[in-house]
Structure 1
Amino acid sequence: MFSVVEAADDLTVGISFQQMNNPYFIVMKEAFVSAVESIGADYIITDAHHDVAKQVSDIEDMIQRGIDILIINPTDTVGVQAAVELAKAKGIVVIAVDADAAGPRDAYISSENYDAGYQAGKFMAEELNGQGRVAILNGIPADGILDRVNGFKDAISGYPDIAIVDNQNGKQERSTAMTVTENMLQANPDLDAIFSVNDTGGLGCYSAILGSGRDTFMVSIDGHPEAIEAVLDGDIFRATVAQFPRDLIRMALGTSLAKYWGAERVPEDIRVPVKLIDTNTAVGFSW
C-alpha cells in the first residue's frame, strides 16, 4: 500500500496569482501551502501584480522549472491563453481558479460570481425602495468580474425606477478605487449608491464616500475582514457578498490531483456558493 504523500513526493505544483496585495488571496495562498505540504509535494508561488505580461512570463518560468500542475488565477482571462496553451503542450495539468483562463485548461473552479452580483444588486435595490441613481465601480477584464457586473445589472433591470448612471474601473485597488469614487461623486451629485466588484476596491470607495460627507451607500463582494468591520460600523458599507477562498483553492488542488493521477471524469466547471453578509449576519463571520 502507498500513501498520498508517497505518491506526491516527486510532484511540483505551481500557482500564479493575479495579485497578492489582498487578504483574500493571502488566505487562498495560506490554504494552498497547507494543502500542498500535507501531501508532501513541492510548490512554486508567483504574484503577477495585476500585470498579464508578468503572469505569462512567470508561468513560462515555472514550466521551465518542471511543474506538473499549474493553478492559475488569471489577471486577464484572454491574455493568459498563450501560457495555458504552452503548459498543456508540455503535458501539464492546468486549473483556473477564481477567474477563468482562455485556452485548453482542464477545469475552472470559481465562486458563483453572477449570483454574487445579482445578490448585491437585489439588496441594493431593496435598500433604495426601488428608486434611485447608482454607479458601478468595475475591475479587471476577467470573466468572474464580468459575471458579477452582469448579475448586478440584471438585478437592477427589474427595477425601472433605478438608473445606472456611471460605470468606471477602480482596478480592484484601494487607492485607485478611492480616486475613481471621488470623481464619480463629483460628477453625480445625486448618486444614491455604488456597487463595487470587490472589497479591496470597495474599501477605497468607502473611504471616498466617508470623506465626502454624502449619504451615498455601497455594496461590494468578497467578505474581506475590513469590509465586515465596515458593515458593522455604520450606514455606508451596507453589505458584502462573501466568497470562500479556502474552499476554492482546496477544490482547485483536489481537482488538479485527480486529473494528474488519471481520473477518467473530472468536472470542468465547479462553482462555490456565495453568501450575502449584512448587519444581521456580519457578527462572527470570517473566511
Structure 2
Amino acid sequence: MARKNFRSTAVAAVAATALFALGACSSGSSANTGDGAEGNGDDLITIGFAQVGAESGWRTANTKSIQDTLTTENGFDLKFSDAQQKQENQIQAIRSYIAQNVDVIAFSPVVESGWDAVLQDAKDAGIPVILTDRAVDSEDDSLYVSFIGSDFVEEGHRVGEWVSENLGTESINVVELQGTTGSAPAIDRKEGFEDAIAGNSNVTVIDSQTGNFTRAEGKTVMEGFLQAHDDIDVVFAHNDDMGLGAIEAIEAAGKKPGVDIKIVTIDGVKDGMTALADGKFNYIVECNPLLGPDLAEIAKKVVAGESVEKRIVTHDDAFDQEGAKAALPNRQY
C-alpha cells in the first residue's frame, strides 16, 4: 500500500493520550472492527471518520452512506466516531486516529475555525485529511488534501432567487432559521440568500436566529418568531429539519404552513420532500448527503499516491411541489 510512514515522536506522544479520550466522543459504533492499518497488511485502507453528530435526517443519511460504502468488502477498515456536535470531541477523535496510525482521516467539521493545530499534527504524522460536507477556514490549505461537498453559498442563493422571483413580487417579511452558529453551511447559506434578495426591496428579513439544524430547536425558535411578529410571510430554514419544526409551531398557532406562511428550505430529505409534496413546504434546494462513494474514491487515490482535486462540488437539484411528488417514490434518503 502506498502511504506515508513518517511519524514524529512529538506528535505520537500527544496523540497517544487521545486514545482513552475517544470514548467521550464516540458513539461506540464502528462499521468494521479490524486491527487497523498495521494489522490488515495491504488489503484494507484504514480510515478514521469523525462525524458531526446525528442532529438531522440529512446527517443520518450521510452517516449511512459512509458506513455502507467504507466496508471491508470495498477495501476499507472504518473507524467511526460521533462528535455529538462538539468540536472538542472531533479534535479528540482526530488525535486518536493519529495515534492509531490510520491511513486517512476524514471529517465533517462542526464549525469552520479552530482546526489548524490538530490538522498540522496529522500532516506532521504523514496522514492525509479529507474534508466532507463542511469546509474549514484555515489559510493553509495544505492541511487537507481535498474537500467533498455542496456549494452552500450557491444553495442559499438559489433559495433567495426563488423567493425573490416567486414571492417577492409584493412586500414580504422573512424570518430565518439559521444552522449551527459558526458552521460553514450556516455562514454560507445566509450569505447566499442575502446576496440573492439584495436587489429586491420587497423582501425583508425581520428576524434571524439559530435553530442548530434540529427539528426541536426549529420549532422552539419559530414559536418565538410567531410571538414576536404577527406579520411573517416566509420562513427560510437552513435545513429541512428546522423547517419541519417550524411547521409544528405554525400549525399550533392556528396557521396553515405553505399557505399562510410559506416555507423554503435546504436539504431534500424524505420528510422534507413529503412536506413539500403535501404543500406544507414551498421550495427545497437539495444538499446531497450521499458522499460515501466520493469519499471512498478519493481515499483510494490519495493512498495510492495519485493527485486529487482540491475541491469537489457535488450536484444538487431543486424542487417545487410537483418535482417533489415525482422524486419521492425513488428517493434514497
TM-score (norm. length: structure 2): 0.79
C-alpha deviation, 1:158, in angstroms: 2.4
| Equivalent residues in 2 for 1:260-279, closer than 5 Å | 260-263=303-306, 265-279=307-321
Letter paired with 1:271:
V
C-alpha deviation, 1:253, in angstroms: 2.6
Alignment: residue pair count: 279
C-alpha separation in 2, matches of 1:175 and 1:92: 38
| Equivalent residues in 2 for 1:45-194, closer than 5 Å | 45-103=80-138, 104-130=143-169, 131-140=171-180, 141-194=182-235
C-alpha deviation, 1:145, in angstroms: 2.5
Inter-CA distance 147–270: structure 2 relative to 1 (3 Å threshold): same
Give CA deviations for 1:175-194 in whole Å, capped at 9, x if unaligned.
11111111112112101101
Structure having the higher strand fraction is 1
- The answer to whether the 8 A contact 1:94-1:256 is kept is no
1:238 alignment counterpart: 282
C-alpha deviation, 1:99, in angstroms: 0.4
1:253 alignment counterpart: 296
C-alpha separation in 2, matches of 1:22 and 1:101: 21
RMSD value, Cα: 1.8
TM-score (norm. length: structure 1): 0.91
Letter paired with 1:243:
C
**Moved beyond 4 Å, runs of 4+:** none
- The answer to whether the 8 A contact 1:68-1:92 is kept is yes
Runs (5+) with no aligned partner, structure 1 = 1-5
C-alpha separation in 2, matches of 1:48 and 1:39: 25
Inter-CA distance 138–21: structure 2 relative to 1 (3 Å threshold): closer
- The answer to whether the 8 A contact 1:118-1:155 is kept is yes
C-alpha deviation, 1:153, in angstroms: 0.8
Runs (5+) with no aligned partner, structure 2 = 1-39
C-alpha separation in 1, matches of 2:168 and 2:211: 27
Greater Cα radius of gyration, structure 1 or 2: 2
Letter paired with 2:114:
G
C-alpha separation in 2, matches of 1:8 and 1:20: 32
C-alpha deviation, 1:102, in angstroms: 4.1
